[in-house]
Each structure stands twice: as structure tokens, then as C-alpha cells.
Amino acid sequence: MNLPPHLTIGGGHLHIGGHDCVTLAEEYGTPLYVTDEMRIIANFTRFASALKRHYPAIQVLYAAKANGNLAILRTLARQGAGADVFSAGELDLALSAGMDPRLLLFNGSSKSPVDLALAAAKGVRVSVDSIDELRQLDAAAGAAGKTVEIAFRVNPALEVPTHPKIATGLRTSKFGIPADQILDAYREALACDHVRPVGMHCHIGSQILDVLPFARAAGVMAEVARDVTDLGIKLKFLDIGGGLGIPYHRSIDVAPTPEEYADAVMPVFLEAINRCGITPELWVEPGRYLVGDSTVLLTAVNSVKQSHKTFVNVDAGFNLLARPVLYDAWHEVVVANRADAKPAGEYTVTGPICETGDIIASDRRLPAVKAGDLIAVLDAGAYGFSMSSQYNSRPRCPEVLVNGARAALMRRGETVGDLTGTMQTPPWQE
């Protein structure tokens, strides 16, 4: 298996950012998410530089949904990132992390009146997803005495090679405004009093391992940009979304590099803006690429059972990492306390949740596993903790951040008290 440079093996143990996973698990308990801050910074730098080689005015908007821990948002804010925020909660987190409101884009296909009022009050730009929403935003901005700068989200009607649940630019997707309505939307925005159209947005999907769809989407945006420019609108930014995939299947997947991504997308973008005679910023919204490989989920083996298969029953399930059950996603697993031992059999790693689908990894060749061993689930940084739940009334686990020799909690583990803390007794049960 190809390990990324921040994951190493020493003394038979897996290390992350130089920290022994076995020691971390002893100190903080399991299950435990551990993230290497330096890896996030390295991923950010590589991604941004790859694009900046072609064009200087690049702005990275981290997709906060991938991992919304404040510490991670702070790390990225300090690198100059803004954020793609998809809820009032993500907006609050991004601002709390010190991000510039002008570098946030409030996205989403179903924003509430409260969301729209909040966007207006905080001075963040909004990716408007329907003409209905445009009218509501105009009214909300008017009520707040503000003018809100907006983009429209374009539906590019593109098939992309990824799991159907995370392809977002299909003709049939709920996101974006169809090409045949998009100019009407911009026209109507021009006529609004409290909304100013200054951008264009698109996001075609996630975990895409081919650069061609990104170039195609940029091509669709280029065409719309020309028509929008002809309407007399001066585009300040074009936002091509996120979606670059990572090689979860570490011995098989070949993921495009950020340089390959940039080489595919940038010529289309540059050609388009030259043709329009404009110099907008290019905004990109990577989530997974920045944080996906930065994190391992450490989970202890409770028991091993020889049944139809050999089941390794661990203490983290789809309550903490939902990607396998939701998308049949592959995550590599390593026996962290015997990381250099040869495979001795085939194991299926299953969580503690009361559903048959609670499988972290099926039929993996691993060293002999026994109770008390520690399993590391790799590439758990994106859509791991952020999609976790308290199902089966399991408090969520802590998250640790490491940076060089330092390690610290960036979220404490929940307790059963946290589960009951928000519950209330209806008066007739008193």
C-alpha cells in the first residue's frame, strides 16, 4: 500500500506526523480521530500553487462541510483560505475561525429566510440556486438595508464518474439553474435593487478521479460567462467548485494531481476570460483534497469472530465514519500496532452499530488480528467526523490535532451527559 509521507511505520507501529498511533490511542482512548495539521498545510499549498502557476488571482474556498472542526478552519484561514459554507452553522464556524467574510460563499439549494437574512447581515456573498431564492434574497437584503453580491449556481448537465449520490451537476440534480434559464436569472438580478450579480458558480460532484469533467464544466461556464458579460455584467469571480478525488484505494486508484487538474482547467478558464475581456478571480472549493488524507480514525479491536467470515469487531462504526455504508466507499485499514507484519488472513472490519451494513472494510488481507489490537482507518479526514452521528446513543469520539512534536485535543469526546443534555421532560411526564 502506498502511504502518504505523513504516515510512516516505525518499531512496528503506524505513526502520523511522527506520533505513534498506539501511544495516541493509549493517551486519548479509542475511537479517536487524529489529524496532521502540517499535511493539511502541504495539501493547501500544493493545490493553490498548482493553479497560481497559470493565473495569480486564485482564491481557495475550503469546503467546510468536509471537516468543520474550528482548528482545521483556523489552519486554513491562516493560509489565506476562505470557505464554501452550506449552512448558518458553517458560516458561523468560518467567521469564528477568522475567515474574511468577503472570502465566503453561502451555498445551498434550500436556504431558509433566516439563512438569507444572515448572509445579508454578515456581508457574505451568496450562490443563488433559483429565481425564487433570488427574489427572497433581494427582499431580505432590502430589509437589512444592504446590497448582497451574488453568483448563480449553474447546472452544467454533466455526467461525472463518481458515486451517483455525490454527482451534483447532472441534468437531473437538485442543484443549480438549468442553462436555458440562467440568463433570465442574471437579467432579473440586474433589475433587483438589493442584489448585485458579480459571480458564477458551479460544482459538478465529489471524489472525481478524472480531470476531463472539470475541463468540461469550465467550458460550460465559459459559454455562460460570455453571455453574461454581453448582458453588461462585470464578473468579479468564477467559482468552479471542488471535487478533486483522492486515491482511497491506495494500491489501485490513480488520482489526478493538482497540477494535472490545473493543466486541464486553467487553459479553458484563461481562454474564456480573454474572450470576454475580463479578469475575474478564479475561486475553487476543494474539501476532500485538502483534508481527506490528513486524518486517521483509530479504533480498537473488541473481539474477533470466526463466522461466515472472520469478523474484526472494532469500536468505531458508521456512527463515526459513514462513507462505507453510504457510498460503498473504500478506506484502507492498517493494524497500527503491527503495521509491518505480513498479511496472515482475510478479515472484515465491522463496527458496533446494530445494522448489518455497519462494515468499515470488507475482506481485507491483514496481519493476524486479535482483541486489543488497534486498527487505523486511513483517509478519514473528509466527511468522516463531519458526517458522524450519535446513533445507538454513542457519544462521538474526540479529535486530536498533531503538528510536529505537538499533539492536542481539538475536540473532546462527548459523554452520555452530552446525549441527554439537550433532552427535556414533557410536563406531563414530570
Binding footprint of ligand LLP on the chain (CB under 6 A): 63, 65-66, 84, 107, 166, 203, 206-207, 241-244, 285-289, 323, 327, 382-383, 387
Q: Which is nearer to ligand LLP, 34 or 329 (CB)?
A: 329
Q: Which is nearer to ligand LLP, 28 or 261 (CB)?
A: 261
Supply the residues annotated as catalytic: 354
In 3D space, the residue among 251, 238, 249, 252 whose CA is nearest the CA of residue 285 turns out to be 238
Helix (H, G, I), strand (E, B) or coil at 91: helix
Q: Is residue 269 within 8 Å of 314, Cβ to Cβ?
A: no
Q: How far is the CB of 337 from ligand LLP (least distance, A)?
A: 28
**Encoded amino acid at 135, one letter:** R
Q: How far is the CB of 246 from ligand LLP (least distance, A)?
A: 9
Helix (H, G, I), strand (E, B) or coil at 358: coil
Q: How far is the CB of 361 from ligand LLP (least distance, A)?
A: 15
Q: How many CB atoms lie within 10 A of CB 364?
A: 20
Q: How far is the CB of 288 from ligand LLP (least distance, A)?
A: 4
Q: Which is nearer to ligand LLP, 85 or 276 (CB)?
A: 85
Q: How far is the CB of 60 from ligand LLP (least distance, A)?
A: 11
Q: How far is the CB of 408 from ligand LLP (least distance, A)?
A: 25
Rounded CA-CA distance 68/91 in Å is: 10
In 3D space, the residue among 337, 298, 305, 291 whose CA is nearest the CA of residue 320 turns out to be 298
Return the biggest CA–CA distance within the chain: 71
Q: Which is nearer to ligand LLP, 301 or 321 (CB)?
A: 321
> Which residues does 191 contact at the CB level (< 8 Å), separation at least 6?
none
Question: Phi and psi (nearest 5°) for 284?
Answer: -130, 150
Rounded CA-CA distance 301/110 in Å is: 41
> Which residues does 2 contact at the CB level (< 8 Å), separation at least 6?
247, 250, 251
Nine cell digits for residue 185: 436569472
Q: Which is nearer to ligand LLP, 202 or 375 (CB)?
A: 202
Q: Which is nearer to ligand LLP, 4 or 292 (CB)?
A: 292
Rounded CA-CA distance 27/40 in Å is: 23
**Encoded amino acid at 247, one letter:** P
Residue 248 per-residue DSSP state: S
